[in-house]
């Protein structure tokens, strides 16, 4: 039972009898957007968890003739591209990859360079890009998907190990030589360009240390709910919980003296808490550890508790 934004706005407007009032409907849409912002801030929702395996698409791409350089069709649309990922669509030749890209002064990607020239002109086509991130020798910074919100897990497919999240300053304390090639063992997420000088805030991933060999990152991450979606970006089981919250926001916006506000507030916050509880993982941490062997559970930062009857500590990533 999905619901469009227009239908949801009508439902929200009923709380003040404004479902047939265009001005109230417009205000209800604002309340829904405010609700989505609050819900996005509440937690990373499991129903928004995704990964890079399927890749991503960019629409509205055009070029003239046989070219190797393609401009971004809109600001930020190529920001999830990394070197060596595959690209297909339009008159792009088979087995083409992205060999390079250029940035605008604000940090957004202006254009990409293809490993093979296109075969002919294409207008308003959709390009499909590989999503898993190729780790390259000497390159420690990579672009994240444009809908990235927060990280769930980073896995090296060749080395077959999970990378550990670490804050930049902690790595600075641990390591004195930041240019030395070493076993990649950790990562951090940061925005290298101020949002005030960039079209929108985008994140990049930095790996520690500097890669000495190639690999591929399989990234699992949370996106945020899309506040501008034509159909509400939420599972049916949470739909009316969000509506209740938006009704409280609308009533508060419309009339701060409404005697129903305390009840509506309680209903809204109860609905949000119920949604949070419903979205939580049901498997306990203890069950999670029992599901894997000791060797599988080791990700490079634990002490091995077997080896000739002695306790043998292994170094953490270097």
For residue 163, what are the CA distances in angstroms to 22, 183, 285, 301? 51, 11, 19, 10
Q: Has residue 1 got a pLDDT over 90?
A: no
Residue 5 binned pLDDT confidence (cut-offs 50, 70, 90): very high
* Six-digit token string for 147: 């809908």
Instruction: Please write the tens of the pLDDT for every residue from 42-100.
Output: 999 999 999 999 999 999 999 999 999 999 999 999 999 999 999 999 999 999 999 99
* Whether this model's pTM surpasses 0.85: no
Question: What residues have CB less than 8 Å from 248, skipping those under 6 apart?
Answer: 261, 264, 265, 267, 268
Residue 318 binned pLDDT confidence (cut-offs 50, 70, 90): very low
């Amino acid at each position: 039972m999905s619901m469009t934004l227009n239908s949801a706005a009508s439902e929200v407007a009923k709380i003040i009898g404004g479902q047939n009032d265009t001005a109230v409907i417009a205000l209800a849409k604002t309340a829904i957007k405010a609700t989505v912002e609050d819900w996005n801030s509440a937690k990373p929702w499991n129903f928004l968890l995704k990964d890079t395996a399927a890749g991503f698409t960019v629409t509205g791409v055009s070029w003239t003739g046989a070219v190797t350089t393609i401009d971004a069709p809109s600001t930020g649309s190529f920001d999830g591209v990394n070197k060596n990922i595959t690209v297909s669509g339009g008159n792009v030749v088979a087995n083409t990859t992205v060999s390079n890209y250029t940035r605008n002064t604000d940090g957004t990607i202006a254009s990409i360079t293809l490993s093979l020239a296109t075969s002919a002109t294409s207008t308003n086509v959709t390009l499909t890009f590989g999503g898993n991130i190729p780790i390259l020798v000497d390159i420690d910074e990579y672009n994240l998907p444009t809908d990235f919100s927060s990280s769930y897990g980073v896995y090296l497919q060749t080395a077959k190990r999970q990378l550990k999240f670490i804050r930049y300053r902690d790595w600075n304390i641990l390591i004195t030589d930041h240019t030395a090639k070493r076993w990649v063992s950790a990562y951090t997420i940061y925005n290298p360009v101020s949002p005030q000088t960039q079209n929108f805030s985008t994140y990049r991933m930095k790996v520690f240390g500097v890669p000495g060999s190639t690999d591929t990152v399989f990234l699992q991450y949370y996106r945020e709910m899309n506040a501008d979606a034509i159909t509400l970006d939420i599972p049916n089981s949470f739909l009316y919980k969000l509506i209740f919250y938006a009704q409280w926001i609308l009533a508060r916006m419309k009339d701060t003296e409404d005697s129903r506000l305390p009840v509506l507030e309680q209903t809204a916050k109860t609905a949000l808490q119920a949604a949070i509880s419903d979205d939580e993982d049901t498997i306990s941490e203890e069950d999670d550890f029992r599901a894997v062997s000791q060797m599988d559970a080791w990700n490079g930062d634990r002490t091995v508790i077997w080896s000739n009857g002695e306790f043998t500590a292994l170094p953490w990533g270097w």
